[in-house]
Structure 1
Amino acid sequence: MAFGLIIIGDEILSGRRIDKHFPKVLELLGQRGLQLSWAEYLGDDPDRITATLKRTLATQDVVFCTGGIGATPDDHTRQCAAAALGVPVVLHPQAKEKIQERIADMARESGATPDFDAPENQHRLKMGEFPQGASIIPNPYNKIPGFSLPNTSGEGAHYFAPGFPVMAWPMFEWVLENHYADQFHRHAWAERSMLVYEAMESTLTPLMEAIEAQFPLVKVFSLPHVGDQQTRRHIDLGVKGDPTQVEPAFEKMQEGLRALRAEFQISA
């Protein structure tokens, strides 16, 4: 099962706001023995959002999507998801109920009686208009729900939450705990690495290829660093994958580096 992430908002691409969702989703998945397979950033362009969702909805992936589900002119995600599926946007009855609960809460906090027919409250109901066939995702912060859609492939699903971390993160965590708990820690995973100083990747490539050939359940990674005030030029070299092969593969890597007379330091 592959997990993906779509982050929507002009404010991210312009730098007005710094994305915090990517590292948090990595954390939420990692805590459960899961991994993120891909991520995409999109601006508030309806055509691009629609085309992206049409493509990703055709996969078997589990996709988290943040941003653009409000009811202002720059929020397009709900409508784009509907367009990608070729279905109308309709007011979800459970979403209507939750939004009206929120309206009543706000009225009580200000000592007033809720007027559900007031123009501003009728407009708030638009946040509960989702593609036909959607299910809601509860929002513990302010009760305004997100929504989910099954993929057109028949496998996997998309989960849509607001761009606000205080809302999106607990909503995504709820999705994982309530829909994918059977996937937690199903595949053992290990990773070992070292810093190889003043080395060239071209020199290390034959060793890397030999290790992957001998240990098919691991992947070798090589991350060059040009050096800075804290460290010399080096390559972060390592192996990751099935724990039963990671350790012997890592030992083999060290043997190969010694044969090359390379200077290295094992990472903590």
Structure 2
Amino acid sequence: MAANNPTACLLVIGNEVLSGRTRDANIQFLATGLGNLGIPLREVRVIPDVPETIIGTVNEVRAKFDYVFTTGGIGPTHDDITSECIAAAFGVPWEHHPVAWPRMQASYKPGEFNSARQRMATMPRGAELIENSISVAPGFQMQNVYVMAGVPRVMQSMFEWLAPRLQGGARIESRAVHVVGLPEGVIADGLGAVQQRYPDLDLGSYPFYRAGGNGVALVAKGPDAAAAEAAIAEVTALIIGFGKVPVPGEPPGV
């Protein structure tokens, strides 16, 4: 990938994801949205609601990536500990946020802004709010760490607010072709040669299984649309060389 594209990491925080209780629905949305901004998602980790793990992982990845996004753990219950762990990671107090606290307090009837709800207005000192149109409870930013809700609808609203404020690079372009009846192993060497000729692209091979026949999708991604198109043209010629008919784009249902 081109050197001028910033990189991102996503931390999915929550025991419920690791246990299989909840299926994560945020990774694909964020990978696509960030790619459109020219911020390739380079790593995703799913970690438990364990303070030492959250603190250590946040400090590790915020030094490695330009952007770190987290989802989950900013609700009102006892296991929602992401916010206080971010405070610990940055070495600052976890305290009433001067904007979020009065706003949330005003949104409830007298006596309903209880200790559980107050947790959602308690953040690391210096946090900048991430707004959303779904809930009065915001996410927040600490330097290059962006802390968002785990509930997909709320997270998506937060990201839509945040996206125009992120500094990206060249949009990540994608070009694809697929073919039925040609195993990956047959074209692997040829694909490797194409990849070597286009080092700034990610050339992926993805098998698919359909009632009408098994096949493989070949996808070139990178910030240079012309290079992606040229690479896929070479892949198309490679497939034709094996006597198969390639189809532009990814297979239906992908």
Find out whether 1:141 has 2:134 as its counterpart: yes
Matched residue, 1:37: 42
Find out whether 1:167 has 2:137 as its counterpart: no
Matched residue, 1:68: 73
Quote how far apart the aligned CAs of 1:158 are.
Answer: 1.1
Q: 1:195 aligns with which of 179, 188, 192?
A: 179
Q: Which amino acid aligns with 1:206?
A: D
| 1:205-252 deviation line (CA, Å, top 9, x unaligned) | 331232223334433221234x44x13232223433322223332232
Distance 2:31 2:15 in 1: 22
User: Which entry has the higher C-alpha Rg, 1 or 2?
Assistant: 1
Distance 1:139 1:98 in 2: 13
Quote how far apart the aligned CAs of 1:30 are.
Answer: 4.6
Change (3 A) 1:219 1:141: closer
Pairwise CA RMSD:
2.5
Structure 2: tracts of 5 or more residues without a match? 1-5, 250-254
Q: 1:220 aligns with which of 203, 207, 211?
A: 203
Distance 1:188 1:147 in 2: 26
* Equivalent pair of 1:199/1:262 in contact (CA under 8 Å): no
* Equivalent pair of 2:239/2:246 in contact (CA under 8 Å): no
Q: 1:183 aligns with which of 160, 165, 168?
A: 168
Greater length-normalized contact order (CA 8 Å, ≥ 6 residues apart) = 2
Distance 1:41 1:231 in 2: 35
Q: 1:132 aligns with which of 103, 125, 135?
A: 125
Q: 1:92 aligns with which of 85, 90, 97?
A: 97
Change (3 A) 1:124 1:59: same
Q: Which amino acid aligns with 2:216?
A: I
SS in 1 for 2:43: strand
Task: Give TM-score, length-normalised by structure 1.
Answer: 0.79
Quote how far apart the aligned CAs of 1:256 are.
Answer: 2.9
Structure 1: tracts of 5 or more residues without a match? 108-113, 151-156
Quote how far apart the aligned CAs of 1:122 are.
Answer: 4.8
Percent of pairs with identical residues: 29
Change (3 A) 1:144 1:216: closer
Q: Which amino acid aligns with 1:183?
A: G
Find out whether 1:158 has 2:145 as its counterpart: yes
Task: Give TM-score, length-normalised by structure 2.
Answer: 0.83
